[in-house]
Structure 1
Amino acid sequence: MQNLPSRAAAPRLDLADLQPEDYVDLLHPAGQHGRPALLWFQEDAPRNLCASSASLNLAMPGLIDGRAYLSMNRFRARRCSSQITALNALYADLDWHKTALWRDHPTEDVEDAIFRRLDAANVPLPSVLLSSGRGTAAIWLVHEMPTAALSRWQAAIGALNEFLRPFGADRASQDPARVFRVPGTINEKSGRRVRVAGGSGLRHDFDSLADIIFRAVGRPTRDELQAARLSTARRSRLAPTGGNMPRGLSPRERFRQIREDLDRVRIAWGGEVPEGKRNTWLHLYATALTHDPDIKEIAHEIADAAQRGTPDLPDKEVAVIIRAGERQANSSIGTGVMSDGRYHYSGDRIAEMLDISGEDARALGLRQVIPTNARRERRADAERERRARKGAKSRAEWLAANSASRTRPWEQLGMGRSTYYKHLKSGTLPELPVG
């Protein structure tokens, strides 16, 4: 299949007043590859139609008071994964009403919290935020991609749902044949009318959006992963017969130091992690534990860390982190960084996630959780100390001892500069006149 051409970004719309027909046109504009699919119910019997947006819009007026769903991607003749023609969006179905943390909050408060989480990680706002009456669907439109990009799409949508897991992201929503309710229709479970709660209305470049999402969950971007693979392959080609020699710290040792740093930070906070950082701190601590193959009871270790540092974190959120830690710890350890299913956060990224400044890192004696600029300063200080131990002089000291260029003694001796240095080298330099 040929690569699909990029399309211009959709214009901004007044999404609060988005009508069903406008919603269909926004998601599936004319001139695209494939056909969107519509699912509706007639006397509880499902009906399906895969057709152009214009054809689907003809059916909209008769569906508003019932149940109707629109596909996020496009198909050849019917809605199923094997019939995918064009990938059109990334999305997350947020069943926050099922979570202990958010189920008692008003919808508007939850949606504000979703926006704040996205903003804190520099993830752009959804193109459409759909309020279904019992939960929320967040949709990021992308320039259409061919089915050859399905594995990349699956990786990105998996990372997006992981990032939004605190809001009850439904893993089943990662199906490329997924449908969401059409705004203006009725959610029969709640009796409420589905509405568009907000969104930018914009369409994104997939690679750029995916990289932002990967960074938000501590995964490498596509370029970083490719660079790591090339580096591993290059080291393998250059390795002597006896095998690769280890360079630097192993992931096991580096993440052991990260655990120690996280405990130092917790102690500096008074022994318990403050609200707003509890979930992040425990996730990072659990991630560090997954890199130690000697830890057999990782669930027990994570639970202990939660008891020490995040005793007020809801049990359900702790359980989610424990399950994720167990899953990663049970993965086989790969031969290179970022190839084993575990998170490989950098110290700079961890410092950013926990708001650790360079001054904090120095005051606490942290060894790994250090901002990049502070790490550079630390290395520069260490290099200066090393040079000083070997007798090297600072620039100021060298200039003080080599001031001839400033005092120009050859002029006082009535000779040229080159003649002065010849006499200086041979030891025949006359004494400077006094006074």
Structure 2
Amino acid sequence: MSSIAVDSAERTPSPQIELIAEPMSYHSTEWGFFSVVSRHPEKGMLQKSYPLRLLSEVLSAVPRDRDTYVSQAEFTKPNRRVVNLARVGLLFVDIDPGPITHLDGDQWAMRCLIACQDEGVPAPSLIVFSGRGVHMKWLLDRPLPRAAVMRWNHAQKCLVKRFEHIGADAGARDASRVLRLQGTINEKNLKRCEVVWEDRDPRDGELVRHSFDTLFDELVEVPRHIYDAQRDAEQKAREERQKRRESFTLIRGGKYGLRRLGDRQLAWDRLEDLRSLASMRANNIEGQRMLFLFWSTNFLALAQPTKANSLHYEARSLAKEIAPGWTYKDCDLGTTFRRATAYAQGEQIEFNGRKYPPLYTPRNDTLIQALQITPEEQKKLKTIISKEEAAWRHAERERQRRRLAGMAERSEYLESMAATTEERRKAVLELRGKGLSQRAIAKELGLSKTRVVQLLEGLKEGGQ
């Protein structure tokens, strides 16, 4: 790997004609949207989202003489709400300089690289000087889909923690984050945002990209398999405690052979199930809109992919998705927003000597009854399913496992046994016709005398 520090003398040409290429290293031209936030001289900060296919055109036209930011992830709709996340192609850390504002871009790059060595973290693919601090970015070899956002969040949390001692901003690590755009001016000190360090492969000159699984193993304090085992053990202990509860219980994975899930991952998957269910009922959801929005917002708050103070923005996006053209009042979800804030602050509710989160953690049966989810609809869901559906899926997985192991299906096994029994009956009848005793027949065929008697009685019952 070669480390390329961009010479400061080469960064002085007019920003109005230099190509902005940095976002193209982690944004694709596939379907989806990205967002640009820019400061307007009179209207303040304005945001606009664009299709990814227009990425190069937008980057060539954005204002560069003012504070301008670009989303780091990609979205399914023209906003940057985490509920509309499509994919994310990097990990990043935003270094806030605090009182240390005298360092230039090259000095910051050196400080970050030394910190990477000290922490045992691979060097970032890019280091971008923001005019005050820097953004460290680790490009991924393939983008992660929305389904992996909980693992991505955990990796981000661990990554930021590694660089706390040099000013990593713990509040700037969510998937909806925007970071200052290369080539634009930081209006606080009129310095230009620019790439100050790149890690390129000497074989082809391309930016180095990392495997997310490899980074995850390096960032999390314990290896992946130990991390998963510890999580499963903690989950099992929680399930045992759940059995003794006398109030609301959150049914978690693990029963009927289902994959055990962490609380946040389960909440996220429940949110995805509710969105799928709302999509199935798109033409018949008129009387259930608020119910869907309430539970969706509740599970989003439990998953915590974004800050609690942004929850009302996410709820608006969910409302538009559940019922296009529908608007609601924030006060309708006021209790949920307050509970989400309390949950984010670590507050708990004590009931019957036990502590619970301030948000709602319903049983599967509660959700199925409240939303009247049919067995046919459950077949298309991931976690909000009845015990009967869970048992059926477990049986189906066992059938698949037996097939892969080369084991016969029960019907095939019974058919084979029936054929074997019929062959033995014919042999017993043939030897009996030759005058052999039951004991002699048993010895000849390698059977017990009892089995020979059973076969002969079967022949009698059959009228032979």
Q: TM-score when scaled to structure 1?
A: 0.46
